[in-house]
Structure formats: structure tokens, C-alpha cells
């Protein structure tokens, strides 16, 4: 084996070992020390990050990619499943990003969760969550990918339902798993199709063998899977509900694990996806719809975490649009930059929520810029990065996506929806800043405001650096796989920026309108639509369970099991046999007359037969 | 073969001779040693498939995992029954363990028989101890009804099998499993032949149980004591799957078309019984219905008759055996504390029994087939083989996985999460015995991840 690939493989396996070590040692029966979370888990993630720099440098320097296949796990005739790890551009870049972000989140969580008696367990869950994501990212066959895929789902179930005494948390956790399972049907469908048609789950073999097939159906399966995991339109309501979990969970779930898994799956499968126009168009339209719909929902929310959550959903829609544009690498770039500023936005809102005595409503905030200058500055930086302000992290990916969209010959409606959503981004970002940082305080006077704690400041600071320079670093170091369009009309070049600025100006104007009254009552129905999340959860969350539970109770249980199957099975046997038994039984009741008459009757009959 | 069978038979005199003080510990360790020795079957080097051959018995890759599971389950049943039989007089405790042991004797002979008739006799013989366990040791009067259902459903299915087997013996001259697949296939064309086909499979389909003939199962599970539920879910249902796989070889030309309605029934059953689970209030009934749902998948996998289907069915049978037995044990720990199977009466238990919650969680995850547990390997293989047969099955199997996840987590949330009701704050703490019991269920399941070819069946 070549020295470079040995170094890469070794360092990546060391990363796995480092991350798994605290989890494995935590199973020892001795109670964990109270600072285990910080000394073990955070340190493990930190060191894993530093080690992951090495393969990254090797990749940047030599373009080294490697695949390790070891140990045949299962084998049925010619079909075998191996343990096979893939370290290519995507996993090599994503792993350090995820580790860096998680390191910061864990440090923040040690402050956020310090009063929780089970903090060590919380950290263990977060760590397993991260490991599952890295398994998913480095998987080189569908089965391994499926392991990571399902495990992030289950870990999110545990983490969202962390405060298990609350009914809402349990509902949200269950909701996340059920929506993801709907998506999993798509993945299982695709896996079954691949197994039967291509006879291999190894990725490189799949890509080679799939050239001669019509891939539309399995790709639709994969898109459904990504819809579930990445909360695209139709299967999106679990993502805002997931806000029931603690803020560090939201930060991790939204930045570098779980929700980007769906997009990542499509990026992984892009060699199969790129030649199929139907699948690409579906991605494009689905993404555009998602990004606009969730941006609209974000406009009128009052819960700070919900706004940030919906903005994630909207950015995921944008990533899906990028997949639909057949630019998987750009989508990947957006995943990476998005991880930094989204994690930071959540940490900032977590810090503010804690400072205001667990108040999440932005209407009861205000003036935080004077009270928590660092946090609110970072909140602003994050929001600016999110809107794609030039030369912050979001700009390098988002602007490139919009440019690619503008210069493509694809669906103009999708383009329009995406641009609209981009301007909405500016609106809801401004709204958060306006309500949280600006103006006068609207909260209770005795709030425990204190951000001067290294475990708050440092993680946010690290992520702020990331949000500022990550985009530049990544774009200037990786080679684009597709030729970007470099020249275009000025209008198209500045479109992303222009719509953002228009959005910003509109929002400012609207904000000033709140102080003046022009109409007796404003028109409320658009507000209701946005505030009630398009009435989607109300319809779907009532109708589907109601139908299914009615099927279970009325049809399956009562009508079929307890009535019909009983009636035609055991009860029918009884009713058929009972008359005969009763007749025979009635005769034999010890009455000598009956017996004698029967005896003579048979005797006479036998006699008659004998005689003739 | 006799290395296992004779010690198991000798366990009966041991039960009656051992002093009362050592009854449970002796039988437990004795049966555990048997089960450890039985694991040597898994290491077979025979090229022909059959190993440990004796005149009447042998093991092959299909029966070995089931045999190991059977032997593994006896110590677990003894471990699980210790608490609830404690108030009984000592002779009754001895009788109870004897019954469980006799069940193991019959099951070993059933799974290792090389002759179909012997398999049939042992298949029927298992009914007797099970019936006694249900009707004598159950808790409520409904147990008598449950016993009747259990007996008559199974017998009504298996008596046609006897006729069918005698007919087969007449035609081929042998019923030895070693040679049966090499006998020339019969010319099956008439309507009576189709009836013969149905007769060969009906007994096993009822035993599985196939949706439609499943009414006996929830009743039996709900009314049986814990050991009965465990062995019923873990091994007795698997007799059906095992028998079907053995019979399938001889039914070759007819199965292709005739199995369609049964596959549809099995898959439809996955959805319907899953939906019933979503509405269950009774914990044991929920687990029982979930067994029907999983076994429906197994039945479909077998009827589809591909190597993927067979392999998936065997893996799922073993995995489901351990999982559902674990779930019944967990339900029993609740039952022994609250004396009720109703879920709403025992909720929020994470507060009082936190380590039990971990077991509940792992068992629920196994039930919903979390990768890479063997449950998923089995389900995925069955789903794939069904998908190969018809694309539309993904609607039923995929819907089934969704519903399975729904009710498994519903069960977990309902029993473990949420606030603790005030009426159950003074529960007994968990015993090490119970934790050992759960660990012995779930550790094999987790360890099987690393070497799944042990339960891979013929295609390993």
C-alpha cells in the first residue's frame, strides 16, 4: 500500500477509535466522574478533529483518496456485503467540519446542560450521534450507509426526547422517527432495486453497473429517502418540532448531522443521478418548493429556535435545488459552510435563551446588543452569513448556487421560487436581529444575563471564525469537479445580492410600519398561513393517524379479528356442531322409554333387513 | 446429537432428586451447560450440509441455529419463571420445570429429525406440554379458552398434514429428509394434488401463524405464564417456518402459482396486525400481535422460495425469537410489579427502573429492526426477495416497517417515558436475575451482528 493511503487510512481509523473509546469505556459498571463529559468526550472529539486535519492536508496536497475494503461481512451466493470505508473528497472534507462543529457544540453543551443530572449520558448520546453520522459519510456500501442512516434517526429520537417527562418532547421524538421511516421506505426500495438489478451494494460497482439501466424508480426512492431525512416538503414537519430537544441537540442536528444526511446521500449517489433528467427535475422542483415554503413559515414565527429551524429547512431546500441543478459539489460546499453558521446561530440563541431564564419568544427579548454584546454580534454575523453577505462563509456557496441556477436552462419557476426564498431569508434574519438585539428590552428585569463564561464564548468564537473564513478556505482549496460558468450578465451575477437587499429593505419598511397604523386591521389570512405552517401539520397530523388508527381498531381488530375470523372459525365450528350434539344429547337422558323404543326400532329394522 | 438429548432427558430425574433449596440454581446451571455444549453444533465442517449424523437425527445449517436457540431458551425460561412460581409448593415448581424440559426434549427431536414422520410426531408432541403450561399455569380463567383455541387451531391444521405425509410416503417410498430432495418429483396436476399441496403446508401456516389463522396466538400469549409466552414466541412458532422450509423442496412445481394467495395474506397480515398493535392497550397482546406481523414476513419469505427469501426467513426467525422473548420478559417484569398488563397503568417507568429502560430500548429497537441488528438483515433480505417477485410488495413491506417502528416506539414511550403516575411509586427494585435474563437475550442478538453467517442457513 502506498504511504499516503496508509497514513490516511490510519488516521481515519484512529478517529473512529478515538470517538468510540469514551462510548465503550462508559459501559464499565463504575459510575462516571462528573466531569467525564468534558474530560473524555470533548477531548476525544477535539483530538479527532486535529487528527482529521492530516488526511485533509494529504488530500489537498496530493488529491489522495482511498477506499479500504476489509472483511466480508455477509455473503449470499455472489452477493457479499463488506466492511468498506470510502475516504474521498466528500468524507475527507466533511469529517473535519463535523468534528470541529461538534467540538464547539459539546463545549457549549457543558455550560448549557450543567444543571442536568444526566449530563454524561447526554454527551454520550451526542457522541454516538456523531459517530453514526461519520459511519454514514464514510460508508462505501449501501448497508453501511443504512446503518449510519438509521442510527442517526434513532439517536435523534433519544436526543429530541431528552426531557422525557414532557409529552411534547416525546411526541416530537416519535414524529421525527416516523417521518424518517417514511423516507426509509424509499431507501429500502432503492436498496432492493439495486440488489436485484445490479447485484451489489458496493458503491463503485453500483455506479459502473448502473450505466445500462433506467434508474428513474430507484432514484425516486433515494429522493424520497432524502426528503424524509432532510425534511423536504411533504415530510418536513418533524424538523421544527424537533426544537423540543435541548439547544445543543438542535445545533448538532441542524448543522453537521442528521438533516444533511439526506442531501449527502444524493451527493454520494450523484454518479447515478447526473444522467437522469426526471430525477433531477424532481429534485429541483422539490427543493424550490421546500425552500420557499419553509422560508414563508419562518417569516411569522415567534420562537427564536423555530425561526432558525425553518431557516435550516429552507437552506436544505436550496441544497436540494443544487442537486437538481446537477451540481452536487456545490451542494456539498453549502453543507460545509452552512454547518458553521447554523451551529453558531443555535448556540447564540441557546445562550440568549439561557440568559433570559428560558424565554424563547423573540417578542419578549430586545436590546440584547447592550447586554450580551458578544453573543448578539455573533448572532448578527451568523445571520449575515446565512443571507449570503459577500465574503462571509455563506456567500461562497450560496452565491455560487444562485449563479449556477441563473445560468442554467432549467425550470424558470424553480428559479423564481428560489430567488423569492432567498429574499425571504433576508427578511426573517433581519426579524431575528431586530427583535433580539435591537430596540429596548422587553423581558423581566431580573434575568440571569451572563455570557462571560469561556465555555460560552469560546465555542461561539470558534464557530464565528468558521462562519467568516470557512467558505473562502474551502473554495480556494478544492478543485471544482464541474466547470463553473464564469461570465454572465451583470443582472444575473448580482441577482442573489439584489434580491437579498430588496428583502432587507422591505423588511425594514415593514418593521417601521409596525409603529404606524395605516389600516384598521391588517389582512390576516396570509399571516395565518405562514404562522400555522401552511396548515400542513393540522391536516396531516390529524388525518393520517386518524385513518390508520381507525383501520387498526374498527377494521383490523373489531371487524376482522374479533368478529369475522371468530365467526367463521371457532364460532362456526361450535354452531355447526351444537345442533347435532343437542339432538343426540336430548335422546340420551336416561329415560327408559326412549331407549326401549330405539332398541325395538333398530331391532325391527335389522330383522327386516335380515329377512329380505 | 445424544450428547445434548440424553443430558436433557436426564434433567428430569435431576429436577425431582435435587434438594428444594438448590432446585432453581441446579436446573439453571445444568440447562445452561447443555445450551453451551449445543453451541458446538454451530461449528460444522461437513461439506454435504448434514453433520452430527446418527440413524434418526442430524443437523444441517437450517436446523442448527434453531436447535441452538431451543437449547438457549430453556435456562432463560427457568430464570424468568423463578419469581412467579416462588409461592407455589415445591413439587409444583418441580412439575413446572419438568414441563419446560420436556418441551425442550420434543423440540430438539423435532428440529433434528431426519425423518418427516418423526418430525411430525414431535411437532404434535410439543402441543401437550404447551397446552398444560397454558391451561394449568395461566393466570385467568380465559386461559382455558386460550388452550382450546391453541389446541384446535393447530390440530385442525396438522391432521391433514398426516394424511398428506402418508400419501407422500406411498408415492416416494421414503420420508427421509436426507434423500427426499433427490427423489423424482411427482406429477402433480389434478385438483386433489392441489389439496395435497395445501395439506402439506397448512399445519405450518397455522403454526406460524398466517394472518387469518392467527386468532389462537394472541390468546395463548396473553394467558400463558411467562415461560409459555417465551417458548411460544421464540421456538414454537419457528417450528412452522422450519417445517415449511423442509416441505417446500418436495412441493416444487405446484408452489409457484399456489403460493400467491398465501403470500398476499401474509403481507396483508403484516399491515393489519401492525395496525392492531397501534391500538393495543394490553402489553402482552401487543407483543403477540407484533409476532404475527413479523412471522407474516417470514412466511412470505419462505413462500417466495428464493435463496434470499429462505436466508432472510431463517435470520428473522432467530432474531425474532430472541427479540420477542426478551419483550415478553420485559412485559413480565412489569406484570410482576403492577399485576396488570394494561399499559396505561404502568407508564413512566424510566423514573423507577432506569436500567430496565435501557433493556426496553434495545428490545424495542431490535423489534423495529434497527441496522445492523440481525432483525434488519433478515427483513431486508425478505423485502428484497419479495421485491424481486413483484414491485408492489414494497408498498406492503415498506408500510409494515413504518407501522412496526410506530408501535415499537409507542410501546417504549408508553411504558418508559412521560411522568410517573403516583400509584406506582413504590415498586420493587429490579433484580440482578432480571438483568441477567435480559442480557442473555440481547447479547446473543448483538453478537450475531459480527458473525451473521451462523444463522445464514443454506447459503452461508
- 311-340 of B, contacting A, C-beta below 8 A: 311
Do the Cβ atoms of B369 and B375 come closer than 8 Å?
yes
Q: Give me the residue from B370, B388, B410 closest to A150, CB to CB.
A: B370
A589/A446 same-domain check: no
> Touching check for B371 and chain A: CB below 8 Å?
yes
A2 contact partners, CB below 8 Å, separation of at least 6? none
The reported pLDDT for the residue numbered A60 is 87
| Residue A51 lies inside a defined structural domain of this protein | yes
Q: Which of B133, B299, B137, B279 is nearest to B205 (CA)?
A: B299
Q: What is the mean pLDDT of residues B74-79?
A: 95
Query: First and final CA of chain A: distance in angstroms?
Result: 104
Best residue of B144, B391, B417 to probe chain A, by most A CBs closer than 10 Å:
B417
**Which DSSP letter does residue B42 get?**
G
Q: Which of B416, B454, B415 is nearest to B319 (CA)?
A: B454
CA distances from A31 to A117, A127, A409, B360 (A): 13, 18, 61, 21
Distance from CA of B460 to the nearest CA of A (A): 6
Q: How many other CB atoms are found less than 10 A from the CB of residue A177? A: 23
Q: Which of A145, A242, A230 is nearest to A191 (CA)?
A: A145
B107 contact partners, CB below 8 Å, separation of at least 6? B70, B122, B126, B235, B236, B239
The reported pLDDT for the residue numbered B441 is 95
The reported pLDDT for the residue numbered A30 is 86
The reported pLDDT for the residue numbered A480 is 82
% of chain A with per-residue pLDDT over 90: 66
Q: How many domains does chain A have?
A: 2
Nearest CA in chain B to A217: B391
**Which residues of chain A does B452 touch, with a Cβ-Cβ cutoff of 8 Å?**
73-74
A511/A593 same-domain check: no
**Which residues of chain B does A157 touch, with a Cβ-Cβ cutoff of 8 Å?**
409
Nearest CA in chain B to A195: B384
Could you give the ipTM of this predicted complex?
0.94
Helix, strand, or coil (residue A17): helix
| Residue A536 lies inside a defined structural domain of this protein | no
Q: How many other CB atoms are found less than 10 A from the CB of residue A69? A: 14
Nearest CA in chain B to A198: B388
Q: Supply the Cα-derived Rg of chain A in whole angstroms.
A: 31
Beta bridge partners of B57: B113
Q: Give me the residue from A76, A555, A561 closest to B308, CB to CB.
A: A76
- Say if the Cβ atoms of B456 and A74 lie within 8 Å: yes
Q: Give me the residue from A173, A181, A557 closest to B276, CB to CB.
A: A557
Nearest CA in chain B to A573: B152
Do the Cβ atoms of A9 and A52 come closer than 8 Å?
no
- Say if the Cβ atoms of A182 and B405 lie within 8 Å: no
Domain limits at A582?
556-611
* Distance (Å, whole) CA B381 – CA A195: 10
Do the Cβ atoms of B69 and B374 come closer than 8 Å?
no
- Residues of chain A where predicted confidence (pLDDT) is lower than 70: 1
Distance from CA of B10 to the nearest CA of A (A): 38
* Distance (Å, whole) CA B384 – CA B308: 8
* Distance (Å, whole) CA A411 – CA A282: 11
Measured on CA atoms in the order A411, A413, A416, A421, is the torsion positive or negative?
Answer: negative
A285/A158 same-domain check: yes
Best residue of B276, B347, B359 to probe chain A, by most A CBs closer than 10 Å:
B276
A577/A497 same-domain check: no
* Distance (Å, whole) CA B357 – CA B348: 10
A222/A347 same-domain check: yes
Output the average pLDDT for chain B. 92
**Which residues of chain A does B276 touch, with a Cβ-Cβ cutoff of 8 Å?**
552, 556-557, 561
- Say if the Cβ atoms of B372 and A77 lie within 8 Å: no
Do the Cβ atoms of A176 and A153 come closer than 8 Å?
yes
* Distance (Å, whole) CA B182 – CA B252: 12
A152/A274 same-domain check: yes
**Which residues of chain B does A561 touch, with a Cβ-Cβ cutoff of 8 Å?**
215, 276
Q: Give me the residue from B272, B371, B381 closest to A150, CB to CB.
A: B371
pLDDT at B460 over 70: no
The reported pLDDT for the residue numbered B374 is 94
- Say if the Cβ atoms of A76 and B372 lie within 8 Å: no
Measured on CA atoms in the order B35, B227, B358, B367, is the torsion positive or negative?
Answer: positive
DSSP A251-276: HHHHHTSTHHHHHHHHHHTHHHHTT-
**Which residues of chain B does A161 touch, with a Cβ-Cβ cutoff of 8 Å?**
413, 417
The reported pLDDT for the residue numbered B275 is 94
Distance from CA of A293 to the nearest CA of B (A): 26
- Say if the Cβ atoms of B371 and A165 lie within 8 Å: no
| Residue A580 lies inside a defined structural domain of this protein | yes
pLDDT at B187 over 80: no
**Which residues of chain B does A195 touch, with a Cβ-Cβ cutoff of 8 Å?**
384
| Residue A547 lies inside a defined structural domain of this protein | no
Cα dihedral A566, A569, A570, A574, rounded to 10, equals 110
* Distance (Å, whole) CA B249 – CA A270: 43
* Distance (Å, whole) CA B38 – CA B19: 27
* Distance (Å, whole) CA A252 – CA A156: 10
Q: Give me the residue from A77, A150, A556 closest to B272, CB to CB.
A: A556
The reported pLDDT for the residue numbered B46 is 65
> Touching check for A178 and chain B: CB below 8 Å?
yes
pLDDT at B418 over 80: yes
| Angle formed by the axes of helices B237-248 and B90-112, nearest 10° | 10
Nearest CA in chain A to B274: A552
- Say if the Cβ atoms of B215 and A553 lie within 8 Å: no
A81/A184 same-domain check: yes
| Residue A252 lies inside a defined structural domain of this protein | yes
* Distance (Å, whole) CA B225 – CA B80: 10
| Residue A169 lies inside a defined structural domain of this protein | yes
B191-198 long-range Cβ contacts below 8 angstroms, 24+ apart: B193/B254, B194/B254, B194/B258, B196/B164, B196/B167, B197/B251, B197/B254, B197/B255, B197/B258, B198/B160, B198/B258
**Which residues of chain B does A573 touch, with a Cβ-Cβ cutoff of 8 Å?**
152
Do the Cβ atoms of A397 and A470 come closer than 8 Å?
no
A511/A579 same-domain check: no
The reported pLDDT for the residue numbered A374 is 94
Q: How far is CA B323 from the centre of its chain?
A: 10
Distance from CA of A55 to the nearest CA of B (A): 28
A194/A82 same-domain check: yes
| Residue A214 lies inside a defined structural domain of this protein | yes
Beta strands in A476-586 (DSSP E): none
Residues B145-154 as b/e (b if ≥16 CB within 10 A, e otherwise) read ebbbbbbebb
Cα dihedral B31, B33, B38, B39, rounded to 10, equals 130
A61/A128 same-domain check: yes
Query: First and final CA of chain B: distance in angstroms?
Result: 22
- Say if the Cβ atoms of A174 and B413 lie within 8 Å: yes
Do the Cβ atoms of A352 and A362 come closer than 8 Å?
no
DSSP-derived pairing of the beta strands A66-76 and A79-87: antiparallel
- Say if the Cβ atoms of B409 and A157 lie within 8 Å: yes
pLDDT at B47 over 70: no
- The total number of residues written for chain B in this structure: 460
* Distance (Å, whole) CA B350 – CA B427: 12
DSSP B335-387: HHHHS--BGGGS--TTTT-HHHHHHHHHHHHHHTT-TTSHHHHHHHHHHHHHH
**Which residues of chain B does A185 touch, with a Cβ-Cβ cutoff of 8 Å?**
394, 398-399, 401-402
* Distance (Å, whole) CA B261 – CA B240: 18
The reported pLDDT for the residue numbered B302 is 93
* Distance (Å, whole) CA A283 – CA A272: 14
| Residue A465 lies inside a defined structural domain of this protein | yes
B220 contact partners, CB below 8 Å, separation of at least 6? B134, B146, B147, B149, B150, B228, B232, B288
Do the Cβ atoms of B139 and B88 come closer than 8 Å?
no
* Residue B320 confidence class, pLDDT cut points 50, 70, 90: very high
Amino acid at each position: 500500500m502506498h504511504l499516503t493511503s496508509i497514513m490516511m487510512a490510519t488516521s481515519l481509523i484512529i478517529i473512529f477509535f478515538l470517538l468510540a473509546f469514551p462510548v465503550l469505556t462508559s459501559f464499565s459498571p463504575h459510575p462516571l466522574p462528573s466531569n467525564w463529559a468534558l474530560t473524555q468526550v470533548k477531548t476525544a472529539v477535539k483530538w479527532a478533529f486535529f487528527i482529521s486535519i492530516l488526511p485533509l492536508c494529504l488530500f489537498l496536497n496530493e488529491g489522495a483518496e482511498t477506499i479500504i475494503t476489509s472483511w466480508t461481512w455477509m455473503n449470499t451466493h455472489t452477493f457479499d456485503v463488506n466492511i468498506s470505508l470510502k475516504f474521498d473528497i466528500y468524507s475527507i472534507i466533511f469529517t473535519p467540519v463535523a468534528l470541529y462543529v461538534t467540538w464547539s457544540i459539546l463545549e457549549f453543551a457543558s455550560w448549557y446542560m450543567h444543571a442536568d443530572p444526566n449530563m454524561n449520558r447526554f454527551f454520550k448520546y451526542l457522541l454516538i450521534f456523531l459517530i453514526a453520522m461519520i459511519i454514514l459519510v464514510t460508508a462505501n456500501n449501501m448497508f453501511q450507509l443504512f446503518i449510519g442512516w438509521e442510527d442517526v434517526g434513532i439517536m435523534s429520537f433519544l436526543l429530541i426526547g431528552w426531557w422525557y417527562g414532557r409529552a411534547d418532547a416525546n411526541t416530537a421524538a416519535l414524529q421525527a422517527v416516523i417521518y424518517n421511516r417514511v423516507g426509509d421506505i424509499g431507501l429500502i426500495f432503492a436498496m432492493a432495486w439495486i440488489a436485484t438489478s445490479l447485484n451489489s451494494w458496493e458503491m463503485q460497482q453500483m455506479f459502473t453497473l448502473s450505466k445500462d439501466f433506467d434508474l428513474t424508480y430507484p432514484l425516486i426512492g433515494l429522493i424520497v429517502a432524502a426528503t424524509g431525512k432532510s425534511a423536504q416538503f411533504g415530510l418536513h414537519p418533524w424538523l421544527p418540532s424537533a426544537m423540543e430537544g435541548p439547544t445543543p441537540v438542535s445545533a448538532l442536528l441542524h448543522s453537521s448531522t442528521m438533516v444533511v444526511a439526506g442531501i449527502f446521500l444524493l451527493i454520494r449517489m450523484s454518479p447515478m443521478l447526473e444522467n437522469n433528467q426526471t430525477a433531477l427535475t424532481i429534485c429541483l422542483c422539490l427543493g424550490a418548493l421546500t425552500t420557499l415554503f419553509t422560508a414563508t413559515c419562518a417569516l411569522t414565527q415567534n420562537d427564536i429556535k423555530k425561526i432558525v429551524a425553518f431557516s435550516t429547512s429552507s437552506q436544505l431546500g436550496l441544497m436540494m435545488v443544487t442537486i437538481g441543478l446537477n451540481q452536487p459539489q456545490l451542494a456539498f460546499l453549502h453543507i460545509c459552510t452552512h454547518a458553521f453558521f447554523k451551529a453558531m446561530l443555535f448556540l447564540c440563541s441557546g445562550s440568549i435563551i439561557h440568559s433570559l431564564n428560558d424565554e424563547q419568544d423573540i417578542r419578549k427579548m430586545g436590546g440584547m446588543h447592550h447586554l450580551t454584546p458578544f453573543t448578539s454580534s455573533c448572532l448578527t454575523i451568523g445571520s449575515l452569513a446565512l443571507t449570503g453577505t459577500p465574503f462571509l462563509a455563506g456567500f461562497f456557496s450560496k452565491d455560487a448556487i444562485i449563479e449556477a441556477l441563473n445560468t442554467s436552462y432549467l425550470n424558470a419557476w424553480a428559479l423564481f421560487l428560489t430567488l423569492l426564498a432567498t429574499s425571504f431569508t433576508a427578511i426573517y434574519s433581519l426579524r431575528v436581529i431586530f427583535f433580539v438585539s435591537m430596540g429596548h428590552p422587553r423581558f423581566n428585569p431580573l434575568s440571569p444575563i451572563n455570557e462571560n463564561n469561556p465555555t460560552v464564548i469560546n465555542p461561539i468564537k470558534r464557530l464565528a471564525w468558521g462562519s467568516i473564513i470557512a467558505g473562502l478556505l474551502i473554495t480556494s482549496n478544492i478543485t471544482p469537479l464541474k466547470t463553473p460558468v464564469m461570465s454572465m450578465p451583470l443582472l444575473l451575477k448580482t441577482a442573489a445580492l439584489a434580491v437579498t437587499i430588496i428583502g432587507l429593505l422591505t423588511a425594514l419598511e415593514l418593521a417601521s410600519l409596525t409603529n404606524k397604523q395605516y389600516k384598521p386591521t391588517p389582512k390576516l389570512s396570509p399571516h395565518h398561513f405562514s404562522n400555522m405552517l401552511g396548515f400542513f401539520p393540522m391536516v396531516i397530523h390529524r388525518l393520517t393517524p386518524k385513518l390508520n388508527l381507525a383501520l387498526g381498531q374498527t377494521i383490523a381488530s373489531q371487524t376482522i379479528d374479533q368478529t369475522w375470523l371468530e365467526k367463521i372459525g371457532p364460532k362456526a365450528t361450535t354452531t355447526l356442531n351444537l345442533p347435532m350434539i343437542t339432538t343426540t344429547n336430548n335422546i340420551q337422558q336416561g329415560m327408559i322409554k326412549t331407549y326401549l323404543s330405539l332398541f325395538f326400532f333398530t331391532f325391527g329394522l335389522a330383522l327386516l333387513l335380515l329377512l329380505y | 446429537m445424544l450428547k445434548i438429548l440424553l443430558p436433557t432427558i436426564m434433567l428430569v430425574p435431576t429436577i425431582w432428586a435435587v434438594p428444594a433449596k438448590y432446585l432453581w440454581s441446579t436446573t439453571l446451571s445444568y440447562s445452561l451447560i447443555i445450551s453451551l455444549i449445543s453451541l458446538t453444533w454451530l461449528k460444522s465442517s461437513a461439506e454435504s450440509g448434514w453433520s452430527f449424523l446418527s440413524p434418526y437425527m442430524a443437523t444441517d445449517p437450517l436446523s442448527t441455529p434453531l436447535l441452538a436457540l431451543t437449547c438457549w431458551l430453556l435456562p432463560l425460561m427457568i430464570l424468568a419463571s423463578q419469581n412467579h412460581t416462588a409461592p407455589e409448593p415445591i413439587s409444583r415448581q418441580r412439575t413446572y420445570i419438568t414441563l419446560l424440559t420436556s418441551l425442550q426434549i420434543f423440540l430438539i427431536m423435532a428440529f433434528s429429525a431426519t425423518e418427516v414422520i418423526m418430525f411430525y410426531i414431535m411437532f404434535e408432541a410439543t402441543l401437550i406440554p404447551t397446552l398444560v403450561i397454558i391451561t394449568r399455569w395461566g393466570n385467568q380463567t380465559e386461559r382455558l379458552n386460550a388452550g382450546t383455541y391453541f389446541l384446535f387451531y393447530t390440530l385442525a391444521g396438522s391432521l391433514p398434514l398426516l394424511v398428506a405425509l402418508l400419501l407422500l410416503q406411498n408415492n416416494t417410498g421414503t420420508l427421509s429428509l436426507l434423500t427426499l430432495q433427490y427423489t423424482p418429483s411427482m406429477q402433480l396436476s389434478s385438483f386433489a394434488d392441489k389439496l395435497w399441496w395445501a395439506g402439506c403446508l397448512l399445519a405450518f401456516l397455522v403454526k406460524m401463524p398466517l394472518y387469518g389463522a392467527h386468532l389462537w396466538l394472541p390468546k395463548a400469549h396473553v394467558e400463558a405464564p411467562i415461560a409459555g409466552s417465551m417458548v411460544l414466541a421464540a421456538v414454537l412458532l419457528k417450528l412452522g417456518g422450519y417445517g415449511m422450509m423442509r416441505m417446500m423442496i418436495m412441493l416444487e412445481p405446484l408452489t409457484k402459482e399456489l403460493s400467491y394467495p398465501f403470500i398476499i395474506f401474509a403481507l396483508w397480515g403484516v399491515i393489519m396486525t401492525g395496525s392492531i398493535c397501534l391500538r393495543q392497550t394490553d402489553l402482552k397482546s401487543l407483543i403477540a400481535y407484533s409476532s404475527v406481523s413479523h412471522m407474516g414476513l417470514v412466511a412470505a419469505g419462505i413462500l417466495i422460495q428464493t435463496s434470499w427469501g429462505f436466508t432472510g426467513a431463517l435470520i428473522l426467525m432467530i432474531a425474532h425469537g430472541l427479540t420477542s422473548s426478551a419483550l415478553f420478559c420485559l412485559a413480565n417484569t412489569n406484570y410482576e410489579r403492577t399485576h396488570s398488563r394494561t399499559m396505561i397503568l404502568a407508564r413512566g417507568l424510566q423514573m423507577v427502573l432506569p436500567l430496565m429502560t435501557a433493556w426496553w430500548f434495545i428490545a424495542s429497537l431490535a423489534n423495529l429492526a434497527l441496522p445492523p441488528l440481525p432483525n434488519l438483515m433478515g427483513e431486508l433480505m425478505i423485502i428484497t426477495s419479495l421485491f424481486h417477485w413483484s414491485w408492489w410488495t414494497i408498498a406492503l413491506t415498506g408500510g409494515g416497517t413504518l407501522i412496526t417502528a410506530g408501535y415499537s416506539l409507542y410501546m417504549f414511550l408508553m411504558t418508559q417515558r412521560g411522568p410517573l403516575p403516583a400509584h406506582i411509586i413504590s415498586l420493587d427494585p429490579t433484580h440482578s436475575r432480571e438483568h441477567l435474563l435480559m442480557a442473555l437475550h440481547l447479547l446473543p442478538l448483538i453478537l450475531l451482528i459480527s458473525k451473521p453467517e451462523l444463522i445464514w442457513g443454506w447459503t452461508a
